Amino acid sequence: MMLAVGVVATTLLAVGALLAVVRIERGPTMLDRTVAFDVLTTALVGAIAVEAAISRRTESVPILVVLSLVGFIGSVTIARFAAVEPPKNGTAAQRSGPRPGAGGADAAGRKEES
């Protein structure tokens, strides 16, 4: 019975991983590819967990932890870079206020004479 459950779980994980690879290739945006990479990482963790359950070994638990952390850190990093909003009007220099040296002062902070 355990073998049948393992085969069904492995088949479903393989189908999910295959669909994730297709989304990674076709994904129109970077966020689509990021979600697909997260699904692929989760399917890989699931497949290793199924193999560990069928063979009744615990040596693969550190691999599961490390792979889960890599997937999580990768997703958070890409989400952080994707959350940067582009400037709405003008350039970044116009939005950030006065530039150093502007306003009649030189680099040392002394007022320029007119």
Q: Distance (Å, rounded) from C-alpha 74 to C-alpha 80?
A: 10
pLDDT > 70: what percent of the chain? Answer: 75
The CATH number, out of the four listed (1.10.1740, 1.10.287, 3.30.420, 2.60.40), of the domain defined by the range 2-83: 1.10.287
Single-letter residue type at 60: S
Q: What is the pLDDT of residue 27?
A: 83
Burial 78-92 (b: 16+ CB within 10 A, else e): beeeeeeeeeeeeee
Q: Could you tell me the CA-to-CA distances from 69 to 8, 30, 42, 101 in Å, in that order?
A: 26, 20, 11, 46
Phi/psi of residue 35, nearest 5 degrees: -65, -40
| Token pair 């116009």 in the structure block, residue | 94
What's the pTM? 0.67
pLDDT reported for residue 8? 95
36 or 85, greater pLDDT = 36
Q: Tell me the pLDDT band of 104, cut-offs 50, 70 and 90.
A: low
